[in-house]
Amino acid sequence: MSRQVVRSSKFRHVFGQPAKADQCYEDVRVSQTTWDSGFCAVNPKFVALICEASGGGAFLVLPLGKTGRVDKNVPTVCGHTAPVLDIAWCPHNDHVIASGSEDCTVMVWEIPDGGLMLPLREPVVTLEGHTKRVGIVVWHPTAQNVLLSAGCDNVILVWDVGTGAAVLTLGSDVHPDTIYSVDWSRDGALICTSCRDKRVRIIEPRKGTIVAEKDRPHEGTRPVRAVFVSDGKILTTGFSRMSERQVALWDTKHLEEPLSLQELDTSSGVLLPFFDPDTNIVYLCGKGDSSIRYFEITSEAPFLHYLSMFSSKESQRGMGYMPKRGLEVNKCEIARFYKLHERRCEPIAMTVPRKSDLFQEDLYPPTAGPDAALTAEEWLGGRDAGPLLISLKDGYVPPKSRELRVNRGLDTGRRKTAQEASGTPSSDAVSRLEEEMRKLQATVQELQQRLERLEETVQAK
376: enclosing H helix or E strand: helix 376-380
Average pLDDT score over residue span 309-327: 92
Query: What percent of the chain shows pLDDT beyond 90?
Result: 64
Question: What pLDDT score was predicted for residue 430?
Answer: 57
How many whole angstroms separate alpha carbon 138 and alpha carbon 150?
A: 9
With respect to residue 393, please indicate whether it lies within any of the assigned structural domains.
Answer: no
- Encode pLDDT of 31-57 as tens digits: 888 888 889 999 999 999 999 888 788
Side-chain-facing half-sphere of 205: CA atoms under 13 Å: 32
Cα angle 66, 71, 72; round to 5 = 140
How many whole angstroms separate alpha carbon 177 and alpha carbon 87?
A: 22
Entry pTM = 0.84
**pLDDT band of 413, cuts 50, 70, 90:** very low
CATH code (residue 68)? 2.130.10.10
2-11 long-range contacts, CB within 8 A, separation 24+: 7/305, 9/296, 9/305, 9/307, 10/352, 10/362, 10/363, 11/279, 11/281, 11/294, 11/296, 11/307, 11/334, 11/352
With respect to residue 163, please indicate whether it lies within any of the assigned structural domains.
Answer: yes
Give the number of other Cβ atoms within 10 Å of residue 235's Cβ.
26
- Encode pLDDT of 68-122 as tens digits: 999 888 999 999 999 999 999 999 999 999 999 999 999 999 999 889 999 999 9
Gyration radius of the chain's alpha carbons: 23
Which domain does 27 fall in, by range?
Answer: 16-172+352-384
State the total domains in the chain. Answer: 1
With respect to residue 125, please indicate whether it lies within any of the assigned structural domains.
Answer: yes
User: Are the C-beta atoms of 148 and 137 separated by less than 8 Å?
Assistant: yes
With respect to residue 27, please indicate whether it lies within any of the assigned structural domains.
Answer: yes
How many whole angstroms separate alpha carbon 339 and alpha carbon 19?
A: 10
How many whole angstroms separate alpha carbon 1 and alpha carbon 26?
A: 55
With respect to residue 116, please indicate whether it lies within any of the assigned structural domains.
Answer: yes
With respect to residue 112, please indicate whether it lies within any of the assigned structural domains.
Answer: yes
